[in-house]
Structure 1
């Protein structure tokens, strides 16, 4: 087991997901899930080392997709996961998602509710990217992929971040070859090199306003 130095992360039980309606792939019916997933009675912090080996729990992972609309062209942030990233099973994969775990440092007045969750999302964005200008943030989908060892212990919460400016820089070595690409480019030769979650998102992004 990898040493995560006692890191505590926000999780829900797989039983909760099953009770709400388990699914495979991407699900845009977020309101059927979010109130329960972000209810403080249904989530809690768990040792990451244990959670990574325990498919009976799902780690809640914000997966933020960054979009820029300029001159009638829509582009999305894309990067390659570097070796210094926390998830070794995804190294060298292409990705359109930025995010990470929700930790106790994010806890707000609502205990483990939506305020805490959103604080964690914004912290992750600030840690991983340097953005110019304002941005919006809305949840558009959930991701579940039980077909591999990474996916079976994670539940992705897809955020669409609309950027005011295309001036974006990486704050971490784990984010390499950062750039902005159109959906057509992402669905071309790059597609097969994208991690599974990114492929699922790229498949549906043109249906999101």
Structure 2
């Protein structure tokens, strides 16, 4: 068994609290994300400790892949989380977010750790062969459960020119593009972050 433990990028909760309150989806991303990414209190800490310490928030890029079909109907890439190397507490939940932790190795050679980590996670989890435009849409913080209490999601939207996406991992089962209407019908099966992102980007169920 390897003795190496992943160190992940975290920000003290107090830094966020000084900026304002995030409860659910926060669309004013620049207000929060700029100061967070520029803070000298960002650090890399052992993942196992951070998973149970709400004094720190792990920064998680959460990428929503959107494609519009020929009739103008938007679709989003969705999958069912497996129980392998990912977050076991989210096992069997449906998700529309691709991404994961930013690791200390992502900062090697002076690279932008956040951007490098996001692209690394995407490459690990999916095969993306489409061209796309990217926007940052908001932040997600959901303290109502153990997973949410220690993570801060940064929601990115990739608007693809074709549906050329495939899962690379067994932990991303049943991956494929699903219409917004169908996702709304699956709302209760989605993990909390996906519910919040779906409602914020595409409107609430109703």
TM-score by length of 1: 0.91
SS at match of 1:124: helix
Q: Secondary structure at the match of 2:52?
A: coil
Q: Give a deviation string over 1:149-190, Cα, whole Å, max 9, x none.
A: 0000000000101112202111011000011112111111x1
Which residue of the partner structure matches residue 117 of structure 1?
114
Name the residue aligned to 2:161.
164
2:189 paired residue number: 193
1:154 aligns with 2:142: no
- 8 A Cα contact 1:81 1:94, kept in partner: yes
Secondary structure at the counterpart of residue 107 of structure 1:
helix
Runs of 4+, deviation exceeding 4 Å? 108-111
Q: CA RMSD in A?
A: 1.7
**Structure 1 residues 4 and 51: CA distance shift in structure 2, 3 A:** farther
Could you tell me whether the CA contact under 8 Å between 1:9 and 1:48 is conserved in 2? yes
SS in 2 for 1:49: helix
Q: TM-score, normalised by structure 2?
A: 0.92
In structure 2, relative to structure 1, the CA distance for the partners of 1:85 and 1:48 (3 Å cut) is: same
Q: Which moved more, 1:129-138 or 1:194-203?
A: 129-138
Structure 2 unmatched runs, 5+: none
Q: Which runs of 5+ in 1 are unaligned?
A: none
The residue aligned with 1:49 is 48
Counterpart residue number, 1:134: 131
- Aligned counterpart, 1:106: 106
Match of 1:11 in 2: 10
